[in-house]
Structure 1
């Protein structure tokens, strides 16, 4: 009875507040009152999905780096169907000895043992022993055992995961065994990146907590964002495992989701908790404070989350399974983190009230929601807008200029650690058989055109050797030839070689193989990049327009987000293409940026940039709605959101830059590019350029034609 009376009283107290609030304010009030139900639902969700979470990295797919519908994928499918699985997904097991040749009993025994391992797994297809003139070096000391692919590319990566230790364990008595090929490459590549991501996460968590404590001055307030993020991450990890049962999801999806969910979850919680503490300071009623918080900051967080989801959804247009599922993984994590922010967090705040300030540090009680420091900064920008506008633009443009010469390509073997078996085998094959031997091109053609195809391929510039035509065992009428390039598979000349073959060979000939798959994927990424950018910019602008009801500031907020993106890629070119600072950062420059970078990182950077844009402009609009004074909107918008943006950016930069410590190149690229983007965006754009643009445009920033106001749904950020 007592509990029922308390609940009824609370509902009565908040009913009037809720009636004056929007849907999110009412949601906040409902979750605060019915918090036990909210806690129970989230507990069931986290426990239920969390049961699947531990298996996430073993369950998810390891391949998917291909351009669906491309010529190279067609070749792989034909090879799997008609040539015993001798496709780009086949496993090439290198056997090498300095003092014994392939005909020796010891070498023959090892080759037999490799065949025995292959017969223990149905995912392995036909085993082709070393062939003179094709897979045996001229000196006879290096040979390749080909294990065909009898499963999908994802199946083959998992098969290598499970058997590579068994295969490498066959080394001994002066004989070395190295599993190589595309499937082995992705197996070692994924493992190296996963290990690096986990190490970086372990480093970033204590740094993040320290920044949160400094920002909030309270251990309880600082711990809330981390607890929120953990709930979202556990749920999303379990969700990805379940989703993988329906369609293959790249293991990279979870890697990116871990990092992005941590950064965004903390962003959202910072904004909500900061606003709640301010509401408690003048209301003293935790339920009313929860309603006010969700009615104002909740709208900004929801809009920010939608902007992130919209930006990442554009990546789904790219016809590459790994790229698409990376976006799906991050989107799923964002959905869970956003859901936790909109339901679980207000329920916790409604329970804590002033307890959110528990375990406070000495300076915490002096903190104000309206930061005097950022208010002074806003006044300074208001008095001297043009010097700050010109200065920030000049820095961003100078940093962005190098992007003009940016080169992109799929990663070379150098992104795999030097002690990885696939790299060791790759280098052994190159030394024994030539630079292009690890990256043979496969040509599938009807039998009638085999002779002509062999002649043309042999005379193509950059082709060192063409193997004799191999007829399909099933009598389908196809033959396969292997064209061995004269250059390393990651050499720029490979693009010309593949293009020349496809142009000059008979019309029915198809050119594939691992190097061609990389080239086709890179071409697809290049082709779709401008479309993805256009979609992201358009949808981002429309979301800001709906939220702010003002076309000019929505347009400016969208356009300036491009500046930090361009500057980040300009810096990326200097570091990863030209090698600036590579010695300090501990990597070998490839001479290009990894191919998925522009499409994927653009979507991520733009999403983060719009995240801060929403926080700043939503706060500014709230003050403009109350005062109708653009100076109040400009200065108070910065005073009330500046500290949150600064703290959130500090957390993101710390999270991202920890990945710069990773040994593999891809997480290093990701960490540095995203870290630089956030650093530039938060300091030069959100805390300088965008506030200055509000000052320069004045009332015009918030003007909207009458016809547009009639068309748009009414959105207000004031409470």
Structure 2
């Protein structure tokens, strides 16, 4: 690492121009190619996916994207009927529209509510939602909204008409601004404060351009760039912070600029690379799930982390070389001129040194307190309910939420999430069996209504709609789906060639959640095992990685607990501008676990690498733990505060999924850095004593050697005579 750092320092202008050239090239390529995002979350090999495929093959009008135009007024009034009929006829002629079912036709006679004031029309498009032209949707939206009057309320519902929330453009800027403020308070130097931000932004923007291009070769959800920016800004600023902090400490001890950069990169730089790789490993662990939309998120986020690490170990040394001693504050430069180099006393003086000594003297007490705090925060995670947010969770002012509420009020809570049964009826016996199934479904507890086409001889495929009497997000609806699949449908199919597949939005969400839950143990096992092996190889220890793995589980529990409290129970969702309470998006825990496992490993690496460095030098466990905690305490706390600020800023950006990540990661980072790394881990390592650094000889021979701290360099002279110290620059 020192050789790379020296090269980047010596060729600093070239490095800066290389980064600028890379960014411009990627930006032009992305501008030319355009974005190609897809939110396709269908799960292959699930019953709901089979139902979709059957409808696509046998009833294309039902398989394409669809939405509803909902209105409320005196439906029986002639003026309303004429106005809406004209609008619907206009919509039917719009490009991309396959069919419109009006409540004023025989086919749509049931689309008028019992109160006589609410009605809806179904709009079926020819293409899937991912393939549908936005202009076609906008045309239908414009026609429908033009029909509104003072007494006629017209809204649009369904996924195709759901408008993306107004995402705040200020999220990134607020996070960056808070990070700069914190860095300025710590470093007392404007240059030192902006360097980590410049480095992180360079890595993140480059990654965003690359991610846009990546969308042309694999499935990437439209939240992938925002997720990448959220993670990249947090880790990028932190990684650069650790290197800049080490460089400043070296300068204050009298090391010249070039040698200081090399030493900082050979210690903190190595830790940054190792920590970044652990995050990448945790993110890429999601690939074992085999789910396209998650694969894209994982690869996009991992690419962002890789590029921010690359910026930290190449661009940052070049920028540090350009600044020279201006990375120190004016007072520090004056002190260096007046008093000369001074030894680092962080291990013996200051708040963190006193705190580290207190933990050393009484390790049991902080360990117990830390476990209790983390357990209390994690308890709500035990009641987590996975699913999918729908229009009922949208902000109350949105047209999709208004349409959702109007349909629920007029037709019942289950109307917004009907079960859609795709039935194959190859012969008369199977058609009679389907008729019996429809009758039994109508008499089933939890079913409000069943709609089926009239029996027609020779029909080999039918679509049956089952409306529950509970809302789509209700646990009772999930129970009904299981009952229909496990009991009612098998009984109807028995003795016939009838084959029925239960689909629909609610069933698809349940299948998605069930698939993820089934694969979750494999995912956790893989990332924990890989993380354990990496830490074992780096620190030549079994206890250190074991402590890291166990404490990471506490952190993950705290992250999920915070998410459940805010988004499932609704404490603060309206304040964040992301609608009302609802189930947690099924893929959120997977991503939070992957990201947070990597981030918590980061803090473990930065903390323990300094401990291991001191242990290797002195062989004194208590001193190693105390010195490591004292010297890294401030920078870890500042790093956590920066990451908390970035994540919290994104939580208020207006997107429910990103807000969920922001809240979970912000809470987890704060608790992990302060409670786990500054209380629990040092306390446990004091209690374990020299056993922390024990590794069986046979395993020591087998494991590869990974140097996180780097080989110690010979002490450099205080400062060459030809490199004067300026106190005024």
Instruction: Please tell me the TM-score bracket, short chain as reference.
Output: 0.7 to 0.9
User: Partners in 2 of 1:212 and 1:364 — Cα distance?
Assistant: 21
Contact between 2:381 and 2:561, CA under 8 Å: does it hold in 1? yes
Matches within 5 A, 1:39-438: 39-51=16-28, 59-61=35-37, 63-87=39-63, 89-98=65-74, 104-117=81-94, 119=95, 121=96, 124-130=97-103, 131-138=107-114, 141-156=117-132, 158=134, 162-163=138-139, 165-173=141-149, 174-185=151-162, 188=163, 191-192=164-165, 195-196=167-168, 198-282=169-253, 284-357=255-328, 371=346, 372-373=349-350, 374-438=352-416
What is the CA deviation profile of residues 614-664 of structure 1, one whole-angstrom value per residue up to 9, with x for unaligned ones? 110111112222222223321221232211101000111222223444556
Alignment correspondent of 2:496: none
SS of the residue corresponding to residue 699 of structure 2 reads helix
Q: What RMSD in Å do the two structures reach over aligned CA positions?
A: 3.0
Alignment correspondent of 1:480: 463
Structure 2 residue runs of 5 or longer lacking an equivalent are 494-498, 713-729
Matches within 5 A, 1:686-697: 686-697=677-688
User: Partners in 2 of 1:242 and 1:229 — Cα distance?
Assistant: 20
SS of the residue corresponding to residue 130 of structure 2 reads helix
Matches within 5 A, 1:570-649: 570-579=561-570, 590=581, 592-649=583-640
SS of the residue corresponding to residue 389 of structure 2 reads coil
User: Partners in 2 of 1:451 and 1:496 — Cα distance?
Assistant: 23
Deviation at 1:96, TM superposition (A): 4.1
What is the CA deviation profile of residues 37-74 of structure 1, one whole-angstrom value per residue up to 9, with x for unaligned ones? 32222111111223366799x83535223323221122
Distance 1:695 1:53, change over 3 A: farther
Alignment correspondent of 2:718: none
Structure 1, 160-169 or 673-682: larger mean CA deviation? 160-169
SS of the residue corresponding to residue 530 of structure 1 reads helix
Match of 2:452 among 468, 471, 485: 468
Contact between 1:657 and 1:672, CA under 8 Å: does it hold in 2? yes
Alignment correspondent of 2:485: 502
Match of 1:658 among 649, 653, 674: 649
Contact between 2:102 and 2:108, CA under 8 Å: does it hold in 1? no
User: Partners in 1 of 2:253 and 2:334 — Cα distance?
Assistant: 19
Deviation at 1:108, TM superposition (A): 0.9
Distance 1:585 1:143, change over 3 A: closer
Distance 1:100 1:258, change over 3 A: farther
Distance 1:322 1:471, change over 3 A: farther
Distance 1:116 1:408, change over 3 A: same
Structure 1, 337-346 or 151-160: larger mean CA deviation? 151-160
How many residue pairs match? The answer is: 684
User: Partners in 2 of 1:163 and 1:331 — Cα distance?
Assistant: 38
What is the CA deviation profile of residues 382-435 of structure 1, one whole-angstrom value per residue up to 9, with x for unaligned ones? 222222222222222333334333333322434311121111111222222222
Distance 1:644 1:709, change over 3 A: same
Question: In the alignment, does 2:428 pair up with 1:457?
Answer: no
SS of the residue corresponding to residue 567 of structure 1 reads helix
Contact between 1:525 and 1:596, CA under 8 Å: does it hold in 2? yes
Q: TM-score, normalised by structure 2?
A: 0.87
Contact between 2:253 and 2:343, CA under 8 Å: does it hold in 1? no
SS of the residue corresponding to residue 131 of structure 2 reads helix
User: Partners in 1 of 2:564 and 2:356 — Cα distance?
Assistant: 34
Deviation at 1:110, TM superposition (A): 0.8
Contact between 1:378 and 1:638, CA under 8 Å: does it hold in 2? yes
Contact between 2:562 and 2:663, CA under 8 Å: does it hold in 1? no
Q: TM-score, normalised by structure 1?
A: 0.88
Matches within 5 A, 1:519-558: 519-558=510-549
Structure 1 residue runs of 5 or longer lacking an equivalent are 1-23
What is the CA deviation profile of residues 305-327 of structure 1, one whole-angstrom value per residue up to 9, with x for unaligned ones? 11111111222333443333222
What is the CA deviation profile of residues 558-586 of structure 1, one whole-angstrom value per residue up to 9, with x for unaligned ones? 21111122233334444444455678777
User: Partners in 2 of 1:141 and 1:250 — Cα distance?
Assistant: 39
User: Partners in 2 of 1:425 and 1:362 — Cα distance?
Assistant: 64
Alignment correspondent of 2:723: none
User: Partners in 1 of 2:49 and 2:703 — Cα distance?
Assistant: 46
Distance 1:572 1:172, change over 3 A: closer
Distance 1:585 1:352, change over 3 A: closer
SS of the residue corresponding to residue 253 of structure 2 reads helix
Contact between 1:84 and 1:126, CA under 8 Å: does it hold in 2? no
What is the CA deviation profile of residues 475-531 of structure 1, one whole-angstrom value per residue up to 9, with x for unaligned ones? 983211111222222221111121122222244101111111111112122212222
Structure 1, 378-387 or 663-672: larger mean CA deviation? 663-672
Contact between 1:573 and 1:593, CA under 8 Å: does it hold in 2? yes
Contact between 2:35 and 2:215, CA under 8 Å: does it hold in 1? yes
Distance 1:52 1:149, change over 3 A: farther
Structure 1, 198-207 or 249-258: larger mean CA deviation? 198-207
What is the CA deviation profile of residues 344-380 of structure 1, one whole-angstrom value per residue up to 9, with x for unaligned ones? 1122223333232267799998998653322222222
What is the CA deviation profile of residues 279-329 of structure 1, one whole-angstrom value per residue up to 9, with x for unaligned ones? 233353322222212211111111111111111122233344333322222
Deviation at 1:682, TM superposition (A): 0.8
User: Partners in 1 of 2:334 and 2:77 — Cα distance?
Assistant: 74
What is the CA deviation profile of residues 62-107 of structure 1, one whole-angstrom value per residue up to 9, with x for unaligned ones? 5223323221122222222321331373222334443555883212
Contact between 1:458 and 1:465, CA under 8 Å: does it hold in 2? yes
Alignment correspondent of 2:715: none
User: Partners in 2 of 1:628 and 1:162 — Cα distance?
Assistant: 70
